[in-house]
Structure 1
Amino acid sequence: MLDGFVPFPADFAQRYRERGHWRDQSLAQEFAAVFETFGPRTALIDGERRWTYAQLDAASDNLALNLLDLGLQPQDRVVPALPNVAEFVVLYFALQKLGAIPIAALVTHRYAELSQFTRLAQARCVVYPAAVREQGGEFRFAPVIERVQAENPCLQLRLVLGEAGAGEHSLIELIERPATRPVATLRQIGIDPTAPCIFQLSGGTTGIPKLIPRTNNDYAYNSKIAAEVAGVESDSVLLLVLPIAHNLPLACPGIQGFLFKGATVVLHANTRPAEMFALIARHRVTHLKVVPALLIRLINDPAITGFDLTSVQQIQSGGQRMQPEVRIRTRQLFANAFVQENFGMSEGLLMFVRKGDPEEVLLETCGRPVCADDEVRLIDDDGAEVPEGEVGELACRGPYTLRGYYGVPEYNARQFTPDGFYRSGDLMRRHPSGNYVVEGRKKDLINRGGEKISAEEVENLILMHPAVQNVACVPMPDAAMGEKMCAFVILKAGAALTLPELVAFLQTHEIARFKLPERLEVLADFPVSTFGKVSKKALGEQIAAQLAVEGR
């Protein structure tokens, strides 16, 4: 086992085996059966390129063997920072066949994150595109990766998607160049199914993400059970525009879950609504994965009426709570789609609403755990369970929830209870139906003179205003009160709104005055984190800087 990895306790591991959750196979073994069963079917579509299951299997075999020739070994850590392209999927399965461990970096990560991932995981290889477009021009990765390599002697291999320069190997050439070793070489590699198969990234609101070890056993089960609850069938088609390495698009059910079913995944590298609508119509897409901010953009884009979207059966939304108004409008525009709210975390636990749930449950809750052996507690600051119906911090453990972040024992001592429950920082209450309602984050609070305001509570009300398309409430510094609330809003086309108008609207809902926003800022769009969520950290920094300029 890797130093710094926290395994599941032996008694829990045995329980999960006995109950059929863990099959004690590596992901490579799990997908060997998948590739054989569905060989001629289409696995991936990337632009005009199509990959069958057999082609994906052969390409990842070849890449794995060539990486072995370059010196990559089982349990070596690899940092792939790639966009939504088929080469990522080929690389992912090649690493699984080698027993190497990818770190779920994103193409939007830069020096701070890539250097930290490399240092903490002692990564031996990094994979990146030659360049990507970004606001203000083009970003080229090589100079950054050279700095990371110079500071980390462990980093020996640099693979580039594009033309290789000095010190680089071409990823495409390694995929296409015939290997010198027989495929049987890969079958002889022993991979411990209880060991990590990937390091996912924590979605914390501050600092650089921590590494989440997901094991072969738990990650395979994670995707299979998610695919069942998400209604994935062999003829399903997933359009994937969210960052490919993140947990939701990769495994909840994501690429893994859809491939387990013999289905098809359509990859696309941006979230422009018109391009997404065209792909849905062209490929008869049945499943979409979105975050609420993206879904709001889709349903408010005028182009939506110009495409046939009747193939869409399920829209899975995660990352943030979806407001009832968004769900209702989505139903009107995607007439055949079930809008499946889900709550999930890269650390493990998944909650989905289900088809057939009462309307109240669908509109108000984020669902319930996907596995009967998911254990959930709602606890107070002292770790005691709160009374039924009251708000508490979600704590959980189960067959696919981590037992510790990688390499940070002191942090783990704070984030896990003595009996192994992960403290998520999410505030929830249990609905009478047995589903759960998200009430915000422990840190998503405005502390106005000692009165703590839930930003999400006020956001829900503001979103009901007819002029508002989207909203994010954040604390702004105040000399007298410590913090006051600033409401950032995106307005609907042609709409206008002033702070007095917004306050008057909120007062009709008879909320306490201390909950009323004391500043309104109108934006064309929100800054987002690397995970596609609205970045309240960036908004908070923006308003603090603005107040400083104003001398407040």
Structure 2
Amino acid sequence: MTVALHDLLPADLRRSWAIDGTCPDLDLYSLFRARQIADLHRTAVLDAKGKLCYTALDRKVRCLATGLRDLGIGPGDVVGVQLPNNRNAVIADLALAALGAVALPFPVGRGILEAECLLRRAEAVAVIASVEHRGNHHAADLLALASALPALRHVIAAGPGSVPEGTVPLSRLLRSDASAFVPARPDPDAAARILVSSGSEAEPKMVAYSHNALAGGRGNFLASLMPDRTPPRCLFLVPLASAFGSNGTAVTLARHGGTLVLLDHFTPEAALAAMREHEPTHILGVPTMVRMMLDRLEGEFDASGPDASGLDDSRPDASGLDDSRSDGSGGGLPVPTALVLGGSALDEATAEQATRAFGCPVVNLYGSADGVNCHTGLDSDTPAADGHGVVAGRPDPRVADIRIAHPATHEQLPDGAIGEIIALGPMTPLCYVASPDLDARYRTPEGWVRTGDLGYLDGDGTLHIVGRLKDVVIRGGANISPAEVERELVTHPLVRDVVCVGVPDEVMGERLAACVVPRTADALTLESLCAHLAERGLEQRKHPERLLVIAELPLTPAGKPDRAGLRLRLTVDSAPPESRQTASALAEAS
């Protein structure tokens, strides 16, 4: 074991979830292998290279596991993975599970400083990275770090292009003789994967998950969205290397025997094309991505009429559409089982438009890498409107039980009282990696995960998200919740998408800025937005004082709105001329 990964939950509690069947009590590779034996030729992966069935995937997994074992990688070793959404990422996930190693995936596009931080703190012995992807040369960049990372023994280069000297070609490992390979079959309650959270800490948090927490806890989340238990066909718009993307290999394939539909880079055009070609049952993304897709559908509607886009409001019930809409052309869309949106708050307008456009329930998912999950389910097409926060659905104890606690004492609060959301259940992670300070800060003495989110449970047991303990803009000593302002701004008829951030100010400390994607070319002014907020009853001190109009919200490599980048851009725009050059360079680097 290269880094100590301890469990903050009592062992008998972990065992109880395996004994009662809540968790499968098998390691991820064994689960996958059972799925492969049960249906040899089912399609496992659909990516830019085409189809890969379970048997062909298993063959490649065994070859890579053999090659990695021959490099000296074994049980408990941490291996970084920085690959786009394609079959190589899936092969790497399963090969590391078969070895009993611990995967540390992080999305392509993450900078070299963050990669160094992750690999150093996790004491990774190897990293698998792309030779080239969208202008990034991750394998070469990571090789340059090797001398500063004493635990790192190998950089494995994947994909087309010239393999940098000093790296190990992934293609060579995939040609290993796997005839004598024997899987390690690790303890299902041992670490399988480290999820990276881009939360509020100065350095990204790393959270260790066991096989059972992934396939069991997170697997139960997806099971609740599979009404007939048919193996799902999941289109992942988010990176598999993100926390949301951990529902890919471990859950969709190993737990449920489904199919992964993968895009190596999200664009709304590619996502809509994948829907038409592959007819996914579940689409997993963030609200901003779906708003971009809705914009493209509106463009199709304008160009070709209502039959082209699926946005014809004259239909009596969009959810009653059938697969006859899927004709493989530029026409209508096949109807999925669910559109699952997480990563940021889902507003009612987006949910209603997406329901009409895609003809299926829109599921609002509240979750994080830290170990919390709750969603609105398939029963309602649109999350219920609520004036006191975002409705997140009823907690599922087979995934994570949720309580509302006093932020200081952790004592449970009664229904209706606002407090910190804490969670504990089968998906609860083991611990934070190499961060006892984070264990102390974000886990209670009983092991409950402290989310840092504020919310309440109503009398029906439904969770409502109100805001964040730390995500506030402090203007002149008064706290402003960006989430609260965003919820109101997105109801403006000319606003397609919005993110609010704090901008440094010499007088007030911070001022609130609204970064808005408009619906139309009509002029959008700060005055009109503030007038709308006043009509909605939001007090004036919470109104934004800066407006940035943009064509699309920038996304982080993990697929979430890039708040830090927007904040830096606004800071650059307001900086004195002599300091803008340096700030602009920082903005470009970010």
**TM-score after normalising by structure 2:** 0.87
The answer to whether residue 536 in structure 2 is matched with residue 509 in structure 1 is yes
Fraction of identical pairs, as percent: 27
The answer to whether residue 310 in structure 2 is matched with residue 310 in structure 1 is no
Query: What is the alpha-carbon distance in structure 2 between the residues aligned to residue 261 and residue 411 of structure 1?
Result: 33
The answer to whether residue 465 in structure 2 is matched with residue 441 in structure 1 is no
| 2:445 alignment partner, SS class | coil
Aligned partner letter, 2:169? S
Deviates more, 1:366-375 or 1:73-82: 366-375
What per-residue deviation string (whole Å, max 9, x for no partner) do you get for residues 234-290 of structure 1?
353221231112222232xx3333223332221111222222212211112221111
Q: Please, which of 576, 583, 586 is the counterpart of residue 549 of structure 1?
A: 576
Give the equivalent residue in structure 2 for 1:194: 189
Give the equivalent residue in structure 2 for 1:340: 363
Give the equivalent residue in structure 2 for 1:105: 106
Query: What is the alpha-carbon distance in structure 1 between the residues aligned to residue 88 and residue 156 of structure 2?
Result: 12
Query: What is the alpha-carbon distance in structure 1 between the residues aligned to residue 93 and residue 578 of structure 2?
Result: 51
| 2:460 alignment partner, SS class | coil
Matches within 5 A, 1:22-421: 22-133=23-134, 138-161=135-158, 162=160, 163-175=162-174, 177-179=175-177, 182-183=179-180, 185-187=181-183, 189-231=184-226, 233-234=229-230, 236-251=232-247, 254-259=248-253, 260-301=255-296, 302-303=299-300, 305=309, 306-335=330-359, 337-357=360-380, 361=384, 364-372=390-398, 374-383=400-409, 384-421=411-448
Task: State the number of aligned residues.
Answer: 541
Aligned partner letter, 1:471? V
Q: What's the offset of the Cα at 1:62?
A: 1.3
Cα pair distance change 1:238/1:327, threshold 3 Å: same
Structure 2 unmatched runs, 5+: 302-308, 310-329, 580-590
Aligned partner letter, 1:147? A
For the aligned residues, what is the CA RMSD?
Answer: 2.3
Contact 1:115 1:148 in 2 (8 A): yes
Query: What is the alpha-carbon distance in structure 2 between the residues aligned to residue 113 and residue 41 of structure 1?
Result: 38
| 1:107 alignment partner, SS class | coil
Cα pair distance change 1:379/1:449, threshold 3 Å: farther
Query: What is the alpha-carbon distance in structure 2 between the residues aligned to residue 481 and residue 44 of structure 1?
Result: 53
Aligned partner letter, 1:397? L
Contact 2:351 2:382 in 1 (8 A): no
Cα pair distance change 1:265/1:386, threshold 3 Å: same
Q: What's the offset of the Cα at 1:372?
A: 4.6
Cα pair distance change 1:158/1:128, threshold 3 Å: same
| 2:431 alignment partner, SS class | coil
Query: What is the alpha-carbon distance in structure 2 between the residues aligned to residue 205 and residue 532 of structure 1?
Result: 16
Query: What is the alpha-carbon distance in structure 1 between the residues aligned to residue 506 and residue 362 of structure 2?
Result: 44
Deviates more, 1:5-14 or 1:361-370: 361-370
Give the equivalent residue in structure 1 for 2:319: none
Query: What is the alpha-carbon distance in structure 2 between the residues aligned to residue 49 and residue 41 of structure 1?
Result: 14
Query: What is the alpha-carbon distance in structure 2 between the residues aligned to residue 388 and residue 545 of structure 1?
Result: 45
Aligned partner letter, 2:173? L
Contact 2:286 2:559 in 1 (8 A): yes
**TM-score after normalising by structure 1:** 0.92
Q: What's the offset of the Cα at 1:37?
A: 0.7
Deviates more, 1:305-314 or 1:271-280: 305-314
Contact 1:489 1:521 in 2 (8 A): yes
Query: What is the alpha-carbon distance in structure 1 between the residues aligned to residue 176 and residue 540 of structure 2?
Result: 70
Query: What is the alpha-carbon distance in structure 2 between the residues aligned to residue 91 and residue 146 of structure 1?
Result: 19
Structure 1 unmatched runs, 5+: none
| 2:432 alignment partner, SS class | coil
Give the equivalent residue in structure 2 for 1:460: 487
| 2:127 alignment partner, SS class | strand
Q: What's the offset of the Cα at 1:222?
A: 2.4
Query: What is the alpha-carbon distance in structure 1 between the residues aligned to residue 123 and residue 235 of structure 2?
Result: 34
Query: What is the alpha-carbon distance in structure 2 between the residues aligned to residue 489 and residue 360 of structure 1?
Result: 23
